[in-house]
Every structure is written in structure tokens, then in C-alpha cells.
Structure 1
């Protein structure tokens, strides 16, 4: 696997890539972390024959700064054009959090996307009309009283607890370097683009596997990630389920091959 960039008028997206088939595309959440680094414990468990593409969004991870204002659709189109240039025979998408929103756009434009694995992918419901149940309210308020410094240490502890020492140090350094960068402007565009797009859902023919904390299972059962062939796995109490359970994610990718 080697690092490269998708270079466009929007900016330079850092990618990690290895040619193979099927092509497994990893999409991260809207965090300061590098995608390949946080998914590495999963990637290392996959067969060498698989292709890998891990993409950092602009202003995130090891990507460059955005050169101008852009929409989620514009960045998605850049990804789609690059993926097409690789001529993959078959594509599996693995997406965490906001990565699910990008994944739906990629799956709608790339007919050879056959499988989707979502790790608490962002739903239209959670963006536009969050459930009012106590479990959701408690989850949202869990860290509401923490200062920025306290949250920084909480995140560092999460990283230290879930990765090897060397990889944890690498992830944390990437996060620190990105402290003043953000893709928050995309959050506004997310709601706008979801509301105007009636086709915002996975194709029914795609195999969909969703990993979620138990309290969100009903949300995903009625979500745009549900297809004619959907498996829902409920466990843990941590939004970054792939950090805690890389073996479970890798196992399902291997089953899809």
C-alpha cells in the first residue's frame, strides 16, 4: 500500500491505495484522524489480494486544505472520477459515521458497488429529526459538561486504549496537527443535500451490513441504509466500533469476498 493524492481544483485529498480485487473503499467520519491509520487494524487482517482505497476528506487527516468552498456532491464527484479511473471490477464500501453519506453517493453513481458495511453511519433521521428517546438524549449529553481540554484527554485515552502504542502515537499526532482544521462547513451542506435528494438511499440490490450500538438499532432498521439484504449487528457502547472491534469488521469483509 502506498500514499498518494487526488488532486483537483477543490484541493489535495490524501489517499492510501493498493491495487486488487475486489476494491475495498474506507471512508472515515468527520474527525481529525487519518482514515488509513484508524482502519489499519482492520486492513492488516484482510487478504493481500484485496484492493484498498482509504480516503481523507479535505481539511481532515493528512489531506490538504480546501482551496475554495465546495459541496458534498462536488467532493463526491472527485472521488467517483478517481475510483472509475482504477477500473475496479467490484467495490465494497466500509464507512464510519459521516462516511455513510459519502458512501450512498458513491454507491448511486458506481454500479459495481455490491456491498456496504456501515459503522454507525450518519442517517437522514439523525441529521434532520433526531429521536427524542432518553437513550439518544443521554448519549448527546454524556460529554456536554466537559471542557475542550477534558474532551481532548478523553479522546486520547480512547486512542491509547484501542490501538498499539506506536499506532496510537501516530493517530494522536495526526489529530494534534489537525487541531485547527475542520470540515464543519460541510455539516450545513449535508442537511441541505439530504433534504433535496429523494433518491438518498442505498440501492435495494446492495448487500448492507450495519454495526451499531443497541439503542440505535430501530433507527437503522428504518434508515436509508436498509436494503433487500440487510444484516444488523448490535453491540458495544462506543461510536467508534471499528476501533474496539476490528476483528468483527474484518471478518464480515472477508465473508463478502
Structure 2
């Protein structure tokens, strides 16, 4: 793994990468986790000739503090420049959670997008008009249990040394940012145009969505579902962090979409 810092007008963006083709763009969820560490086991399971780029958002991971007010759209423009500099012949977006919002802002700015793979990408519906289904209510009641499950899944995913490094890195990175930085990151997400428009994944783009069973219908009607014949919704796992539970299966899905 190589790392690089890019100075932008918004602040310093750090990304881990490996050159190769196709290029898998890993987009993280919201929080302190470093993107490359979060997707490390998925990346390890990909063929060695595959490249990847795993950027950390501003105010998180190895990236720096934001220098000015910004939105996800603003940051996505900078990320698209980084991605296009790799000059990949095929690009696959692999986005988890809030990474889906970044993906929606990046999709028309990057060259040679081949497919989109979403791991429970954040939908407008779940934020603006949450489903009243009891399964959603029950899931929200058990946030503490879900957080404990993340720790259990990581212990199973990583060796003891890798697990220790993951949490040490996460804690060290989190200490760089104060409450103002966290609020700036939250504002970038909340104030983005994504919530007010009707942008969808193009029907030209195969879209594979990976979700827990109870959210299957939400994703079938979501902005991430395209009418491409290769698009589909796959139910897998029982945690929002499905890539911590099933990294090899997700790597296989990424490999599959490169053949579309």
C-alpha cells in the first residue's frame, strides 16, 4: 500500500492506493475509520492486477482539517481529480453508507465508470422519510449492540495484531480533530445538494446493491437502483458493515461487475 497527500483548496486529502486496472474506488462511511483499513480485506481478496484508491474524507482518517466551509459536492470534485489522474481504463465505485452520497456526486465527474457497487449506501428515504417498518425501529433501538458487533466482526476479520493496529490508528486519527472539525464534516454532509435533487444512478451504469434483508425493498426503489439489465440487489449479512462480515464475497461481486 502506498499513501499520498494532495493539497486542495478545501484542505489536505490523503489517500491509499495501488496502481492497476480496473481501478476500484473505495468510499468510506461517516466517521473516524481510515478508508484503506476499512476495506483492507476486500482489497486483499481482489486480483493483484486490480488497482484501488481509498481516500479519507476531510476531517477524518489521515486527511487534514477543512480550511473553509464545503459540501460533499465540493469535496467530490477534488476526489474526482485524484481518481482521473490514475487514467484507468475501467473504474468501479465501491461505496459504503455515506460513501454513496459521495458516489452520486462523483459519478459524472470521473472517466470510464464501469459500474457501481453499494454496501448499504445512504438513501434519501432513510434520512428524509424513514420507513415505518418495525424492522427499522428495532434496528435503531439496538445501536449499542450494533457497535459491539462491529468490534466482534473485526476481531474475527483481523489477526490480533491487525485488530490492535486498526483501533490504534482510528484513535490516533480521531485525536487530530476537535468538535468544530466534526461539525464541519457533518455540515458538509447535511448541506449537500443531494438531499434536494432527484439525481439517480444512470441506467447506463450497472448497479449492484448489497444490503441486509430488511432493507431490500428500500434499495429496490432507491436512487441507487438503475434499470440496467445487470443491476441487482443482493441480501447479505446482518450488520451495516457488511464488508467486515463478508469481504471475500464483496470482492467477488466487484470482480463480477468488471466483466459487465
Alignment TM-score > 0.5, same fold: yes
For structure 2, which runs of at least 5 residues remain unmatched after alignment?
A: none
Q: Distance in 2 between matches of 1:244 and 1:184?
A: 30
Distance in 1 of aligned mates of 2:114 and 2:42: 20
Aligned equivalents of 1:177, 1:189: Cα separation in 2 = 23
C-alpha deviation, 1:111, in angstroms: 4.6
**Helix, strand or coil: the match of 1:203?**
coil
Sort the Cα spacing of 1:122 and 1:28 in 2 relative to 1 into closer, same or farther, 3 A: same
Question: 1:126-167 CA distances to partner (integer Å, 9 max, x unpaired)?
Answer: 121111111111111113xx5xxx987665444323322222
Q: How does 1:138-149 map to 2 (within 5 A)?
A: 138-143=138-143
Distance across 2 between alignment mates of 1:141 and 1:27:
27
- Is the 1:96–1:119 contact (alpha carbons within 8 Å) kept by the matching residues of 2? yes
Residues 235, 48 of structure 1: CA spacing in aligned structure 2 closer, same or farther, 3 A cutoff?
A: closer
* Stretches of 4+ aligned residues off by more than 4 angstroms: 150-155
The equivalent of 2:171 in structure 1 is 176
Residue 247 of structure 1 corresponds to which residue in structure 2?
A: 248
Q: Give the structure-1-normalised TM-score.
A: 0.90
Find the aligned partners of 2:246 and 2:45 in 1 and give their Cα distance: 12
SS state of the match for residue 107, structure 2? helix
- For residues 153-199 of structure 1, give each alpha carbon's deviation from its aligned partner in whole angstroms, at most 9, with x where no partner exists: 6654443233222221111012212445364444444344123323x
Q: Quote the offset at 1:104 in angstroms.
A: 1.3
Decide whether the 8 Å contact of 1:159 with 1:172 is kept in 2: no
Q: Which of 155, 158, 163 in structure 2 is aligned with 1:163?
A: 158
C-alpha distance in structure 2 between counterparts of 1:68 and 1:115, whole Å? 32
1:109 partnered with 2:109: yes
Correspondence 1:46 to 2:46? yes
Instruction: Work out whether 1:201 is the aligned partner of 2:196.
Output: no
Q: In 2, are the aligned partners of 1:108 and 1:202 still within 8 Å (CA)?
A: no
2: CA distance, partners of 1:165 / 1:187: 32
Corresponding residue for residue 234 of structure 1: 235
Residues 1:66 and 1:137: Cα distance change in structure 2 (over 3 Å)? same
> Scaled by the length of structure 2, what TM-score is found?
0.89
The aligned counterpart of 1:9 is 9
Cα drift, residue 95 of structure 1 = 0.5
Q: CA deviation at 1:83?
A: 1.7
How many equivalent pairs are there?
Answer: 251
Contact (CA 8 Å) 2:150, 2:241: kept in 1 or not?
Answer: no
**CA gap 1:183/1:218 in 2 versus in 1, 3 angstroms:** farther
Query: Against the structure 1 CA distance between its residues 178 and 153, is the aligned structure 2 distance closer, same or farther, given a 3 Å change threshold?
Result: farther
Task: Indicate if the aligned counterparts of 2:37 and 2:166 stay in contact, CA closer than 8 A.
Answer: yes
Evaluate the alpha carbon distance shift between residue 5 and residue 221 of structure 1 in structure 2; reply closer, same or farther with a 3 A threshold. Answer: same
Distance in 2, Cα, partners of 1:174 & 1:126: 30
